[in-house]
Amino acid sequence: MKRILLAAVLAAAVCSAASAQKFEGLAQTPPMGWSSWNKFACDINEKVIKEVADALVKSGLRDAGYVYLNLDDCWHGERDSLGFIQADPVKFPSGIKALADYVHARGLKLGIYSDAGRKTCGGRPGSFGHEYQDALQYARWGVDYLKYDWCESEDINPVGAYNLMRDALRAAGRPILFSMCEWGTSKPWTWAAETAHQWRTTGDIYNCFDCVDQHPGWAAYGVLQILDMQEGLRKYAGPGHWNDPDMLEVGNGQSESEDRAHFTMWCMLAAPLILGNDVRDMSRQTSDILLNREVIAIDQDTLGIQGLKFKAEDGLEFWFKPLAGGDWAFCILNRTTEAKTYTIDWQQFNLYDDVARRFTDFDSKTYAVRDLWERRDDGDTRKPRTVTVQGHDVKLFKLRIEN
């Protein structure tokens, strides 16, 4: 009888999903939260996740917008006799539903992880062949976010695989943010706007500012390498569908200036801000970076347009990001390890952004200048200014239109 009921439920789900789309209204600004992978990898358990939930609240991170608490790989146990996935009974003895209730009670949302292939990257059961069952299970548990990876995916078509899980989530009935982690191999930015709320544009990030971690057949990339891979992608992102350059490594051992630059550039990219550090034990420097609401506001700007690199000169890059109301964010990134002094002549930065369809018009408009890391007003754009940018660091300004 149970198997007959299961078959009926799945058949009904498949029929209802024949013309399904992703849940609309989610991720109108880039999602913000925390994920277990960068710090803990497979070494996660119920106690750690509950402590992280409490720390997100106590630290002020939740109130700053980091609301998704995401279990990454290795939470899985086995499938039951009907094929429904279960949590690892040793790591999560209370089960995922109880954990979701704990997280929700603290004003947070629970994310979970699976894989379109036969196994996850950590060797746990993948969702291949069980997509509708897994989506139903996540909905029953109260999950709010699904990261869907791409290991053990030989001979699987990515468009079909990700659309299948999208339809399964829709049929399950609970609004779940769908995060594709296909590593950019099939150029998902060209096709996935109707499928997911965000898609990875690269392979995994590596905890390094400027290097590549090379392995046989694959590589992980430092901050600058991933930043360079975003070239040409900005026109594909926007409210409800974001380019994802992977999770943040802020607070995981890079220098303070590198952490600040990393965080700033992800905000300029309108990237999802998914923390990867141990938020239970943050330094003051890390906390100050992650909780700078003026910088977060650049990422979360409602216009939802990714920044553009205008030019590069002597190791410096100059970026603009159009903001709502006619404002701009302006960033200078120092890719070198030496301090650089530069005189900003605003008249040299007259540009037209073909995505925002807007000119900067420094020759006819005046903008008030706000230094977002120094947290101070800094005159306006009528006169040049000279700044010094430390090695592997940034200067970040908000330009507020005055006339």
Output the six-digit token pair for 142.
Answer: 């109260």
CB of 132 closer than 8 Å to CB of 83:
no
DSSP character at residue 171? H
Count of C-beta atoms within a 10 Å radius of residue 218: 10
Q: Of 131, 25, 121, nearest to 72 (Cα)?
A: 121
CA–CA separation, 252 and 263 (whole Å)? 12
Q: Is 149 a catalytic residue?
A: yes
Q: How many helices (H) and strands (E) are present in the chain, helices listed first?
A: 10, 22
CA–CA separation, 219 and 206 (whole Å)? 9
Q: Is 54 a catalytic residue?
A: no
**Cα–Cα distances in angstroms (integers) from residue 296 to residues 128, 240, 285, 293, in the given order:** 37, 18, 16, 5
Give the type of residue at 31.
Answer: P
**Cα–Cα distances in angstroms (integers) from residue 15 to residues 20, 168, 173, 295, in the given order:** 10, 10, 13, 45
Sequence-separated (6 or more) residues with CB below 8 Å from residue 284: none
Count of C-beta atoms within a 10 Å radius of residue 300: 18
Which is the catalytic residue, given 134, 149, 246, 299? Answer: 149
Residue with tokens 């013309």: 19
Sequence-separated (6 or more) residues with CB below 8 Å from residue 335: 210, 224, 315, 316, 317, 392
Which is the catalytic residue, given 73, 115, 204, 259? Answer: 204
Q: Of 60, 66, 86, 84, nearest to 75 (Cα)?
A: 86
Which residues belong to the active site? 149, 204
